[in-house]
Structure 1
Amino acid sequence: MLDSCRNMTLACALSALAGYLDGIGYLHLGGLFVSFMSGNSTRLGVSLAEAHWFAAAQTIGVIVTFVIGAAAGSLIALGRGGRRQTWLLLTEALLLIGSALAYTFGWPTVAVGAIVFAMGLENAVFEVRGGAALGLTYVTGALVKAGQLLGAALTGSASWEWLPNLLLWAALVLGSTTGALAYLHLNLSAVWFAAAAAVVLTAIVAAWDK
């Protein structure tokens, strides 16, 4: 899925967008992630062990919303018709605009819910039939793949094939740093920049799909 310059560029841009929103969500939710459900699953287990029921319920809500978003993304990606990436990105952009508007009107919980839903949906951008997809909002798999391919490179094969996966990780880190800085200055209003970026990406992909 990272076998072309176009796919690599889009994947890194979306990973950076996910990192940006995760940086915002992490600070706003006090340690919960809006896109990294492995971390939230660990947080859930710890909350249950410590009998912190409200924190556990909040974490479950985030995880369920993410899964529903992923299911919705899959329905779009695997449905009939063309321009599936365009429709997915347009839906994500509208969700982020809705999130920013919800915060503006004093509904921060709705705003966060829309972000989490959008993050689940985003992972379907590179989905193919059979359910295989490139994870864009989490990079554990990308780091494992980078390490495996780096090991192969040291044996004389796949010399640079590890680099795209490392770039995917770097994009998410850069995005999360930017998102955290934006949140510290703008609170959830920082989502407007993510919404604008999603609109731009939608327009670019729509042009590619012609």
Structure 2
Amino acid sequence: MLNSFRNIALACALSMLAGYVDGIGYLHLGGLFVSFMSGNSTRMAVSLAGGDWPVVGQAFMVIVLFVIGAACGSLIVLGRRSYRQPWVLLAEAMLLVIAGLCHAFGLAIYAIAAIVLAMGLENAAFQVDGGGGLGVTYVTGALVKVGQLIGSALAGGARFAWAPNLLLWAALVLGAVLGALAYHWINLASIWFAAGFAFALCAVAALTEPQ
């Protein structure tokens, strides 16, 4: 999937968007993530062991919403033959708009719910037929591939095959920095920047869709 400049650039942009939104969500939720469910699963388990039931419930609901978002993204992809990525990104952008409106009307809990759904849905942007594909809201897999492909390069394989996956990681980190700065500046209203960026990526994906 990271086999063209177009796909690498779009994947990195989506990873940066996910990092931005996750930085916002992490600060707002006090240590829970909106796109990194491995971290939330560990937090839920530790809280379960410690009897911290409010955190257990909160983490569990975030995980459920993320899975629902991923399922909705899959339905969009599987229901269309063309312009799959633009439709996924349009749906994501609309969810982020809903999140911004919910915050504006003082409904922060619904804003977070819409954000988590958007993050789950975003992972369908590079979904292949039959399910699976490239995850762009978490980078553990990308870092594993960096290490594996570096090992392959040292053994005589492609010298820079690891670079696109490293770029995915760097993009997410940069996005998280920007998200944290924006949250400290204007709180959850910072999600409007994410919505605008998602709309822009939707347009770019539509204009550059391979024919």
The TM-score normalised by the length of structure 1 is 0.98
Q: Residues of 1 paired with 2:79 and 2:24: CA distance?
A: 32
SS at match of 2:54: helix
The amino acid of 2:22's aligned partner reads D
Matched, 1:185 2:185: yes
Residue 156 of structure 1, CA deviation:
1.8
Matched, 1:28 2:31: no
Q: Residues of 2 paired with 1:45 and 1:118: CA distance?
A: 24
Cross-structure match for 1:92? 92
Q: Residues of 1 paired with 2:23 and 2:87: CA distance?
A: 25
Show the 5 A alignment for 1:167-182: 167-182=167-182
Cross-structure match for 2:134? 134
Q: Residues of 2 paired with 1:207 and 1:163: CA distance?
A: 26
Residue 129 of structure 1, CA deviation:
1.0
SS at match of 2:129: coil
Cross-structure match for 1:154? 154
Q: Residues of 2 paired with 1:132 and 1:65: CA distance?
A: 18
Unpaired segments of 5 or more residues in structure 2? Answer: none
Divergent runs of 4+, >4 A? none
Q: Residues of 2 paired with 1:83 and 1:123: CA distance?
A: 15
Most deviating of 29-38 and 73-82: 73-82
Unpaired segments of 5 or more residues in structure 1? Answer: none
CA RMSD across the alignment: 0.8
Q: Residues of 1 paired with 2:183 and 2:53: CA distance?
A: 27
The TM-score normalised by the length of structure 2 is 0.98
1:82-124 Cα distance to aligned partner (Å, 9 max, x none)? 1111110000000001100110010000000000000000000
Q: Residues of 2 paired with 1:25 and 1:122: CA distance?
A: 16
Residue 175 of structure 1, CA deviation:
0.2
Residue 131 of structure 1, CA deviation:
1.1
